[in-house]
Amino acid sequence: AALDIRLPEIAERAAERRTPVAVIVADLDHFKAVNDLHGHAAGDRVLTAVAERIRDEVRIADALYRIGGEEFMVLLDATQTGAATLIAERIRTRIAAEPVDGITVTISLGLAGSPGQLFRYSEAFARADAALLTAKQSGRNRVSVAPPTLRVVEAA
């Protein structure tokens, strides 16, 4: 619900300012094993720690959401794909750097950039989610960036 409220605001601001928006979709690697081996209370502590670590790596104005069991999404307003890639890599490194309650945790991230005046959340999310799948299939604990979209240029 919070995401539904925030999306029009981000899209409108991006269009007005003609600034890009980047979408990061992240999924904890092998999280089911954490719950199975250590219990759901430990899984909850892992989720809380991961959310805190992600929050530490993004700006206060960036939007962080938990969108599924162990999936997170970050909307980076006014952020080019290159800068967003660095942020995603910082998140990945930070998550893997220190175990949570003795549990090693890694995360895979998919990233898609979108030009501000053309920001369409559903399209950007789908591209970021596809990039996440690529990261998972490529060995996990990595960042994968979706290729840029083709811009349609209208004739004058």
Q: Out of 12, 52, 70, 98, pick the active-site residue.
A: 70
At residue 61, the 3 state secondary structure works out as coil
9 is catalytic: no
Q: Which residues contact 4 (CB under 8 A, 6 or more apart)?
A: none
The span from the CA of 69 to the CA of 26, in Å, is 11
Query: CB–CB of 16/8 below 8 Å?
Result: no
**Catalytic positions:** 70
